[in-house]
Chain A
Amino acid sequence: MASLGKTDSASDSALGYSTLESGVGNVILTSADALLGWSRGQSLWAFPMGTACCAMELIAASFSKFDFDRLGVFPRQGPRHTDVMIVAGTITEKMKPVVIRLYEQMAEPKWVIAMGNCAISGGIFYYDTYSVVRGVDQFLPVDVYIAGCPPRPESLQDGIVQLRNLVRAESVSPGVRYRRRTEIPLRTAPAPTTPAPAEPASAAPASAPSKDPA
């Protein structure tokens, strides 16, 4: 599934991350940040940079069964119309300048999702390859990594939701964006609790479950 970093699930409220605004900007600016971040996150138009089999899952995600429209994600074939580039597939050395050029044509603010193992690290082409770039993050600033070969459309949806949290936490004031990006608490699974020490079997009642799920 998509992963961004460490998290605190308590801060995952609808317009959360207000604590991040402390010491930055003022009341007007932080209110504008909240509104702009919310509206940007609700309509992330996607540029499908599909180069290999991950593009099949990307296409499936866009159609009726998974329906990315309800997340506000519309695929657009022109990079100038889009906010997020979804790199779905293997990027070869020959394709790299094309990807860079398309990324440069996208208007700011823009984000990048690396979808699939090939876009993350080269995947199965990591070894013994003469033509494959080992990860799109070697030349693009990737915001969300989605592992899988290929990932399910549900994983891509989860990546969009996590990217939306990231977009909401950004600021309109220049210079704040990148500093704050490192501070964002993001949602992942809660940390596993340490298992309780085993108790003597005679201490537990016979009717209770014999094993503590925690």
Chain B
Amino acid sequence: MTTTFAATMASIAEKFKSAVLADSDGVADACIRVEREELLGLATELAAKGFDQLEMVTAVDYRDRIGLIYRLVSATLSASLVVRCDLPAEQPRVVSLAGIWPAADSQEREVLDLFGVAFDGHPCPKRIFLPDDFCGHPLRKDFESPTLIRRPDLI
């Protein structure tokens, strides 16, 4: 099977109506923006097309929304790809991709721990770094804690 990266992206754009493609500009990788309803289908399709390695799952707090970021690498296509998916800031919830890429298991727990994103279908949806009785999600920008001491020059 010889498929180019461009052909794969073209077929993705046809199949998923919410997917917005941005090509690589030589600095940033190619990026797909997708609605969360189509995330599982897109991930399944990408894994079948040869993106067999999930490098990273992380998130960004934009205050009005939580942006999830998945970085994928394909050895067969010699390409890397970023998948972005925006979630609402209030009770963000998305499907877990740990069944497709096992690497997502621990990384999704990290996002759950620090950003409070709930992953449906995760095999072990618990905190990974912080104690189990910890209150709040510290990388959210509205995080407050009585033990927190703000740096004086940042107040």
Contact = CB atoms under 8 A, between A and B. Distances in A.
Nearest to A131: B130
B102 to A, nearest CB: 25
Interface residues of A, number: 8
B1 interface: no
A186 B129 CA distance: 42
Contacts of B150: 127-128
Interface residues of B, number: 15
Contacts of B27: none
A66 interface: no
Interface residues of A: mostly helix, strand, loop or mixed? loop
B19 to A, nearest CB: 36
Given A93-B131, A94-B130, A131-B130, A126 B149 contact: yes
Interface string A129-140: 111000000000
A93 B152 CA distance: 23
B149 A130 contact: no
Interface in A73-93: 93
A128 B131 contact: no
Contact of B148 (A93, A94, A130): A130
Interface string B135-155: 010100001010111111010
B143 to A, nearest CB: 7
A48 B147 CA distance: 28
Given A93-B131, A94-B130, A94-B131, A128 B151 contact: yes
Contacts of A126: 149
A148 B107 CA distance: 34
A130 B131 contact: no
Contact of A130 (B138, B151, B152, B154): B138
A2 to B, nearest CB: 27
B148 A128 contact: yes
A94 B127 CA distance: 12
B150 to A, nearest CB: 6
Interface string B112-144: 000000000000000001110010101000010
A126 B152 CA distance: 11
A131 B138 CA distance: 9
B130 A128 contact: no
11 contacts: A93-B130, A93-B131, A94-B129, A94-B131, A127-B150, A127-B151, A128-B150, A128-B151, A130-B145, A130-B148, A131-B129
Q: Which 9 A-B pairs have the closest CB atoms?
A: A127-B151, A130-B138, A94-B131, A127-B149, A128-B151, A130-B145, A130-B148, A93-B131, A128-B150
